[in-house]
Amino acid sequence: MAWTSMDTFVDACRTAATSADPAEAVRAVMIEAVADPARVVADLPDFEGEDVVVAHDDAVAVYVVRQSPDTAGPPHDHRMTAVVGMIEGVEIHRLFRRQGERVAFDREARIGPGEVIVLGPDEVHAIANPDRHPSLGLHVYLGDIVTGERALWAPDGGEQQPFTVEAYDRYVTRYGG
């Protein structure tokens, strides 16, 4: 599915989410969609702030995520599969392993324009943008992340707490490399 429009992309993700292997099917849609990042950028909705919900229902939620320059978010989970495709800039996904109610850093994955990462429903990650320019990514969740319960942790991996936008924003820090 080469990029034609955001509506076509959302429809393709919804169809892929009903397949026998939804994560792989959405990943395939995402790979084709972000293969030409400039076409995606030209079709993005205008929005203020860090991200915009393009669509959400019980099958999928589609976000455009703009991460501010030189920032790092806190560890958090989604409790559903997430497929991320980069349009502009870089996202560093710091992956964590659970240790009871706490989390500990495990490894990093760095993705740039045209690249895709799949995060499983049990994974905990934190996103960082090490650059001096905002990054843009397409995030597709296999479920309604807008209404679902999630968790986050302080940047030091402290105790698990309920995810709220306010708590997330409170823990955003400058990227420390």
Instruction: Taking residues 75-102, report their average pLDDT.
Output: 96
Does residue 1 belong to any structural domain of this protein? Answer: no
Q: Would the pLDDT of 1 be above 70?
A: no
Number of compact structural domains in the chain: 1
Instruction: Taking residues 132-144, report their average pLDDT.
Output: 95
Does residue 36 belong to any structural domain of this protein? Answer: yes
Instruction: Taking residues 2-27, report their average pLDDT.
Output: 94
Q: Which of 115, 108, 117 is nearest to 175 (CA)?
A: 108
The pLDDT of residue 46: 80
> How far is the CA of 19 from the CAs of 12, 28, 129, in angstroms?
11, 12, 33
Instruction: Taking residues 64-74, report their average pLDDT.
Output: 95
Residue-wise pLDDT tens digits, 31-40: 999 999 988 9
pTM: 0.93
Q: In angstroms, how far is the first alpha carbon of the chain from the final one?
A: 35
Q: Which of 45, 26, 63, 37 is nearest to 139 (CA)?
A: 63
Range(s) of the domain holding residue 81: 6-174
Instruction: Taking residues 16-39, report their average pLDDT.
Output: 96
The pLDDT of residue 49: 78
Q: Would the pLDDT of 177 be above 70?
A: no
Q: How high is the mean pLDDT of the chain?
A: 93
Q: What is the CATH number of the domain that holds 143?
A: 2.60.120.10
Does residue 154 belong to any structural domain of this protein? Answer: yes
Output phi, psi for 146, to 5 deg.
Answer: -65, -40
Does residue 142 belong to any structural domain of this protein? Answer: yes
Report which DSSP code applies to 20.
S
Output phi, psi for 3, to 5 deg.
Answer: -60, 125
